[in-house]
């Protein structure tokens, strides 16, 4: 790792770049490149050298990626920038748009896994999520053959139990397909990872704003902060988080507080707000202008007046965007959030307070486990606002001095965990093999073994799972054996749909031997698959969930306690979506099932995909009656409507509420809208009605094509 004393800066004018490129950098205020960027260029970034750039959060890795891609595409290449989260994809896309002044075309794709996005052949730089790129490779999108430069952002997510296997597979294909640039937070085994990538490591422990890290714990009637530089501070108050927050605000800083649950984040925000005066800002009026549910508005309005908010996945995207924007523009002083905020968006603060270093995990005795060091580093790395602060500070809250010593050693003074393969499970590895055969097959067993051996798996783990995967996929008719291993029509369709083979196998098993079921039975079946959304179920909810049953389910209640919790989650998801398609008001669904608006959106989006996939799985299996039921269910889930409204919601701008309003007034189809223009305008208002009539004409044209 390069020492801080030898770090160098480079002016933009010194770079071997086209003058137009330099001009765009200067327009964005980039006059010189920092040590991380300078070292990357020194190691061959502009000459297409494979690099692994590992440095702290906010050290300028995005600009490294931009320079690498621009130098490549301006010489006739095509690049893909891959990120782990949709929010990050949009953020990177917005940044890259500035290069269109050079004639570089920038595109973005995420979601819609049953598409090859052929329109992207006309773009020079494509931003994608890892999952979307994986699905494109499985579908053998022809435009991918043009790509010869891959930027793998946040590659340390290989350690993530859910996303890691996909990122590992993408990395193998990227190594095979062309040049690559891997970007990561600092990792302790960077030599091993660079060797795996065939890349030159660029590893510098530099960040634009100096960071002090410490632990905060009670000492008598005060709270003591022990920092890693040896300095000590004390703060007064009855609550350590509130006391340190107020101390930071008084010094002119903004504060991010991370808590391990939504309930704790909301409670912390309210507690901090009690100590702050109301200020004049436009946040409450901005919140009222957005179409947010009453629960969100009522919970946040009194906090926003005092410059405080909470942030978690239960909030609607509109509300989260408002909070993030207000914090960036310094209209908010404090956000109390769950850790997802640290990974999802670029939102720095002068002070970061990590209120918990445990998180809940129902698979762990006592339901709690200590967070990884990498997760702590991601949260603490948000401390320090470039351009606003000379230094940032991150503290982690503990109960006593003895605990402080252990936590200081484990989190503050140590390196993050080594990056290791997460393919060592049947759920991950079997899907990996299916994906390899979809994108690169047919393959001999030796060729498949060679591909898998290019992962980070140890040989022992590979040998343990490979034969098992081949046998399982063959027995369940995803793969057929011959001189080479190839996908059956069932296996190909499952791979194209981008569902886990265990999901498809459960659908096949249950529907092959089941008669037609009620909507809830289908929804609960799909919600029992590995790809399904998971919602929390409180003890007090169990009896009520059972009371809501109105038909026989296809997945029975298990006896195992852990599996029983998963069953209850699937039942709750099924009931939520049943109420959604029966047009229950969103407010009522949120109240009935104790979920947030963001949760409902996530459940609907995932179940939209699963009903669509279930329909196509049944089609390829010849289960035509089940396929018809799932197709109808998919159409209803997408818009949250009864069957009678499906024609009206084909009109752009007509959702579940407007469709119901029109239907109950006697306007019951696209044709009715066109036949009764004055009536439509009287129901919806002149301006909106005119727009709906215009869109109805377009919808009718589309239907008749």
Alpha helix (H) ranges present in 251-380?
262-273, 283-289, 294-304, 317-328, 340-344, 373-380
Determine if residue 385 is left, alpha or beta; phi over 0 gives left, psi from -120 to 50 gives alpha, anything else beta: beta
Which of the 8 DSSP states describes residue 10?
E
Residues whose CB falls within 8 Å of the CB of residue 652, separated by 6 or more in sequence, listed in order: 695, 698, 699
How many CA atoms within 13 Å lie on the side-chain side of 641? 21
Strands 79-83 and 149-152, by their bridges, are parallel
Strand order in the sheet with 222-227: 232-236, 222-227, 210-219, 391-397, 351-354, 255-258, 334-337, 308-311
| Residue 586 φ then ψ, to 5° | -55, -45
CA distance 506 to 525: 8
Q: 146 among the known binding-site residues?
A: no
The closest of 419, 344, 370 to 186, measured between CA atoms, is 419
Q: Using CA of residue 259, residue 261, residue 264, residue 269, what is the dihedral sign? A: positive
484 class by beta-carbon count within 10 Å (0-12 exposed, 13-18 middle, 19+ buried): middle
- Judging by beta carbons within 10 Å of its beta carbon (0-12, 13-18, 19+), is residue 82 exposed, middle or buried? buried
Percentages (nearest 5) of helix, strand, coil residues in the chain: 55, 15, 30
Which tokens in the block code for residue 626?
Answer: 């089940």
HEC letters along 468-485: HHHHHHHHCCCEECCCCE
Q: What angle do CA 590, 596, 602 make, to 5 degrees?
A: 105
Task: To the nearest 10°, report the CA torsion of 605, 610, 616, 621.
Answer: 180
Q: Distance of CA 541 to CAs 209, 249, 353, Å?
A: 47, 40, 33
Distance in angstroms (rounded) separating the CA atoms of residues 141 and 139: 6
Backbone angles phi, psi at 644, to 5 degrees: -65, -15
Residue 159: C-alpha distances to residues 125, 187, 267, 420, 525 (Å): 27, 11, 31, 6, 30
The answer to whether the beta carbons of residues 559 and 623 sit under 8 Å apart is: no
Q: Using alpha carbons only, what angle is made at residue 49 by residues 44 and 51, rounded to the nearest 5 degrees?
A: 90
Which residues, listed in sequence order, are joined to residue 318 by a DSSP beta bridge? none
Which of 233, 294, 237, 303 has the alpha carbon at shortest distance from 266? 303
What secondary structure letter does DSSP report for 230? Answer: S
CA distance 457 to 196: 11
Whole-angstrom distance, CA of residue 242 vs CA of residue 139: 52
Give the pair of three-digit tokens for residue 390.
Answer: 């000379």
d(CA 216, CA 232): 10
Cα separation, 87 vs 311, whole angstroms: 15
The binding site for ATP comprises 37
The binding site comprises 37
């Amino acid at each position: 790792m390069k020492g801080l004393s030898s770090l160098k800066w480079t002016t933009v004018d010194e770079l071997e770049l086209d003058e137009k490129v330099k001009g765009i950098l200067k327009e964005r205020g980039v006059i010189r490149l920092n040590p991380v960027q300078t070292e990357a260029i020194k190691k061959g970034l502009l000459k297409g050298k494979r690099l692994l750039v590992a440095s702290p959060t906010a050290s300028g890795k995005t600009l490294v990626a931009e320079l690498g891609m621009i130098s490549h595409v301006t010489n006739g290449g095509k690049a893909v920038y891959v990120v782990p989260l949709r929010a990050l994809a949009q953020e990177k896309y917005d940044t890259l748009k500035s290069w269109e002044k050079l004639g570089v075309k920038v595109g973005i794709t995420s979601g819609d896994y049953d598409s090859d996005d052929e329109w992207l052949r006309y773009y020079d730089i494509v931003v994608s999520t890892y999952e979307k790129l994986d699905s494109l490779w499985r579908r053998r999108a022809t435009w991918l053959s043009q790509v010869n430069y891959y930027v793998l952002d946040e590659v340390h997510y290989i350690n993530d139990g859910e996303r890691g296997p996909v990122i590992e597979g993408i990395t193998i294909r990227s190594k095979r397909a062309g040049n690559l640039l891997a970007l990561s937070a600092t990792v302790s085994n960077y030599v091993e990872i660079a060797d795996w990538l065939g890349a030159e490591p660029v590893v510098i422990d530099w960040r634009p704003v100096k960071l002090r890290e410490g632990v905060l714990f009670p000492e008598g009637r005060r709270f003591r902060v022990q920092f890693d530089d040896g300095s000590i501070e004390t703060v007064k108050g009855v609550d350590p988080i509130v006391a340190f927050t107020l101390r930071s605000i008084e010094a002119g800083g903004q504060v991010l507080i991370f808590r391990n649950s939504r309930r704790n984040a909301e409670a912390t925000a309210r507690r901090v707000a009690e100590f702050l005066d109301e200020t004049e800002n436009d946040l409450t009026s901005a919140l009222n202008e957005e179409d947010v549910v009453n629960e969100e508005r009522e919970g946040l309005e009194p906090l926003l007046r005092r410059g405080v908010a909470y942030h978690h996945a239960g909030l609607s995207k509109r509300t989260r965007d408002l909070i993030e924007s207000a914090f960036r523009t310094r209209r908010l002083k404090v956000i109390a959030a769950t850790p997802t905020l640290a990974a999802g968006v670029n939102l720095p603060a002068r002070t970061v307070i990590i209120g918990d270093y445990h998180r809940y995990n129902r698979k762990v005795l006592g339901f709690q486990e200590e967070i990884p060091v990498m997760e702590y580093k991601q949260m603490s790395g948000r401390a320090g606002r470039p351009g606003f602060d000379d230094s940032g500070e991150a503290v982690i809250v503990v109960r006593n001095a003895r605990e402080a010593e252990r936590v200081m050693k484990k989190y503050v003074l140590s390196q993050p965990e080594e990056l290791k393969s997460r393919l060592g499970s049947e759920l991950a590895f079997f899907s990996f093999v299916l994906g390899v055969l979809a994108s690169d097959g047919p393959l001999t067993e030796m060729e498949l073994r060679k591909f898998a051996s290019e992962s980070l798996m140890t040989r022992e783990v590979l040998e343990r799972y490979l034969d098992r995967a081949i046998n399982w996929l063959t027995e369940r008719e995803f793969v057929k054996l011959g001189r080479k291993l190839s996908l059956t029509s069932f296996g190909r369709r499952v791979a194209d749909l981008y569902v886990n083979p265990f999901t498809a196998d459960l659908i096949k098993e249950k529907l092959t031997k089941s008669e037609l079921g009620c909507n809830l039975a289908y929804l609960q079946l799909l919600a029992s698959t590995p790809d399904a959304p998971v919602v929390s179920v409180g003890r007090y909810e169990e009896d009520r969930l059972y009371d809501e049953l109105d038909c026989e389910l296809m997945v029975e209640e298990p006896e195992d306690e852990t599996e029983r919790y998963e069953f209850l989650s699937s039942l709750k998801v099924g009931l939520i979506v049943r109420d959604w398609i029966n047009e229950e008001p969103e407010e009522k669904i949120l109240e009935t099932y104790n979920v947030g608006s963001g949760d409902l959106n996530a459940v609907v989006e995932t179940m939209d995909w699963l009903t669509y996939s279930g329909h196509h799985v049944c089609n390829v299996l010849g289960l035509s009656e089940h396929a018809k039921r799932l197709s109808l269910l998919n159409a209803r889930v997408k818009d949250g409507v009864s069957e009678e409204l499906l024609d009206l919601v084909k009109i752009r701008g007509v959702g579940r509420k407007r469709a119901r309003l029109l239907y109950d007034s006697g306007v019951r189809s696209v044709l009715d809208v066109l036949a009764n223009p004055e009536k439509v305008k009287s129901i919806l208002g002149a301006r909106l009605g005119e727009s709906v009539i215009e869109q109805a004409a377009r919808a009718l044209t589309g239907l008749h094509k």
